[in-house]
Amino acid sequence: MSVAATPPAIGSFSLPRSLRRRPRFRMAVRSSAVPVDSILTKLKHECATPLPVLRRVADAMAADMRAGLAVDGGSDLKMILSYVDSLPTGNEKGLFYALDLGGTNFRVLRVQLGGKEERVIDTEFEQVSIPQDLMFGTSEELFDFIASRLATFAQKEGGKFHLPPGRKKEIGFTFSFPVRQTSIDSGILIKWTKGFAVSGTAGRDVVACLNDAMERQGLDMRVSALVNDTVGTLAGARYWDDDVMVAVILGTGTNACYIERKDSIPKLQGHVSASGRTIINTEWGAFSNGLPLTVFDREMDAASINPGEQIFEKTISGMYLGEIVRRVLLKMAEDGALFGSSIPEKLSMPFVLRTPDLSAMQQDNSDDLQAVGSVLYDIAGVESNLNARKIVVEVCDTIAKRGGRLAGAGIVGILQKMEEDSKGLIFGKRTVVAMDGGLYERYPQYRRYLKDAVTELLGLEMSKNVVIEHSKDGSGIGAALLAAANSKYEHSF
Ligand code: BGC
């Protein structure tokens, strides 16, 4: 049995830190002193992602995709059918709602769509952070919270937002956890990820959970589409650009989806669609083949609430990068006296160092790395000299570099698989990968490493056709567009 770490703000790439205490220390007990330099050298060596490693990962990703498409359970990648067979056309009209539950924040949004001419007439949204206790509570508590926020938001409709009389408000529900879709508007939660451990939801239809909660609130709305955040992002980006073929989320968690040809999905039986294409949610966070991992990754995994699962996610996503660095720094403090003879107590707290802290430290260009010093002091209660700060930055860079480059290799794996089946339709023309998530958005070094890896793998010429585009918060509008496409009312107005 493993012991779950239940840290504060565990799933956050963006939450503010709540508590700051005065630094406390314990004396370093060193069994055998190991120079910090040699810990760093070993770390860099084990995290290295030269071209052959990237190739191996991209090839393994493509092979795992095929295995997951062949048969359910055929690989780590679930390759989930989204039941989204037709993408937004631009003709969508009317008022639609979107709900977004995926990480530390929960969003509600309404959008008035005006068809080809007017497109998005207006949007309004509200965002709240999910209280920590709800991440570890019961299913009813979580869905009641969501439904009550939705009820309050829905009451404030006005202005340019207009619902014809007699119609129910329709919702696109973005639920960003692995769900076995049973139709466009239903799906069973397979398991929670990203530090959520809500009891009583796994194995249940999450739309039914939401419907029950809405009923308890006396809220008469209808879920017309249940979508993963990657699927919402793809739909939202595709609304503006026909070349979008793939969507990737790099935030607290990570995942990718793409447009697949029906005849390339052997496990698809009896599911027909006019378009001959569908969106596949890869759930690539569960990928694990050929990754360069260290003892720090293994120990973090063993202490997590889902040991052995989501290994790619644990290596590349925002929830975990800070924690990996913390573990390395603790080892350097304990064995190599990185911060002198005492070890700051806070450095032993799981998840005290967050990925935004790494990014903040890597943006410090000052001679004395003052901002690095402040982050270390504020967060870990660490007093540091310049040498220690330099090492800390190198550790951050090593972990961010591995993450970004592996994410890039994953993207190339998907494109490679698509290209193999469609010969020239991916690399032979402009192909857009829509990206979203706080990690991608707010960690410039990570973003650069990702793009460099894509270019290295594809070569300069071919990579010119692959456009990696930030599609900020596209998943909300995307979910609303999919609700419109699956509206129960035949005629738009
Ligand atoms: C979930 C995915 C989700 C991703 C990004 C992962 O933990 O399993 O469903 O798309 O996070 O939010």
Residue of 229, 297, 335, 436 with catalytic role: 229
**Residue 194 beta carbon below 6 angstroms from any ligand 1 atom:** yes
**Residue 82 beta carbon below 6 angstroms from any ligand 1 atom:** no
Residue of 194, 331, 401, 417 with catalytic role: 194
Domains of the chain are 31-81+240-473 (3.40.367.20), 83-227 (3.30.420.40)
How far, in Å, is the centroid of ligand 1 from the Cα of 310?
Answer: 10
pLDDT band at residue 166 using 50, 70 and 90 as cut-offs? confident
pLDDT of residue 493: 40
**Residue 313 beta carbon below 6 angstroms from any ligand 1 atom:** yes
| Angle, CA 110 vertex, CA 105 and CA 112 arms, to 5° | 150
pLDDT band at residue 33 using 50, 70 and 90 as cut-offs? confident
| CA atoms of 52 and 456, how far apart (whole Å) | 11
**Residue 177 beta carbon below 6 angstroms from any ligand 1 atom:** yes
The protein residue with its alpha carbon nearest to ligand 1, atom 6, reads 253
How far, in Å, is the centroid of ligand 1 from the Cα of 344?
Answer: 34
Q: Where are the beta strands (DSSP E) in 130-164?
A: none
The protein residue with its alpha carbon nearest to ligand 1, atom 8, reads 177
**What separation in angstroms does the CA of 225 have from each of 78, 122, 275, 325?**
20, 21, 18, 39
**Residue 100 beta carbon below 6 angstroms from any ligand 1 atom:** no
| CA atoms of 35 and 273, how far apart (whole Å) | 62
**Residue 102 beta carbon below 6 angstroms from any ligand 1 atom:** yes
Q: Does the pLDDT at position 271 exceed 90?
A: no
Out of 249, 304, 316, 441, mutate this one to test ligand 1's pocket (max ligand atoms within 8 Å of CB): namely 249
**Residue 285 beta carbon below 6 angstroms from any ligand 1 atom:** yes
Could you tell me which residues are beta bridge partners of residue 15? none
Out of 175, 190, 255, mutate this one to test ligand 1's pocket (max ligand atoms within 8 Å of CB): namely 255
| pLDDT digit string, tens, across residues 406-457 | 999 999 999 999 999 998 889 999 999 999 999 999 999 999 999 999 999 9
> In percent, how much of the chain has pLDDT > 70?
92
Closest ligand 1 atom to residue 313 Cα is 7
Q: Does the pLDDT at position 28 exceed 70?
A: no
| Angle, CA 196 vertex, CA 131 and CA 253 arms, to 5° | 105
Known catalytic membership, residue 42: no
* C-alpha 451, offset from chain centre: 17
**Residue 193 beta carbon below 6 angstroms from any ligand 1 atom:** yes
Predicted model pTM? 0.93
Whose structure tokens read 């090593």?
398
pLDDT band at residue 20 using 50, 70 and 90 as cut-offs? very low
Could you tell me which residues are beta bridge partners of residue 114? 93
Mean pLDDT, range 84-99, rounded to an integer: 93
**What separation in angstroms does the CA of 231 have from each of 55, 86, 322?**
26, 12, 27
pLDDT of residue 30: 55
Strands 431-436 and 244-250 turn out to be parallel
**What separation in angstroms does the CA of 59 have from each of 78, 290, 299, 317, 362?**
17, 10, 27, 21, 31
Element (H, E) at 399: helix 386-422
Known catalytic membership, residue 417: no
Average pLDDT, the chain: 92
Out of 194, 314, 473, mutate this one to test ligand 1's pocket (max ligand atoms within 8 Å of CB): namely 194
Out of 81, 176, 230, 319, mutate this one to test ligand 1's pocket (max ligand atoms within 8 Å of CB): namely 176
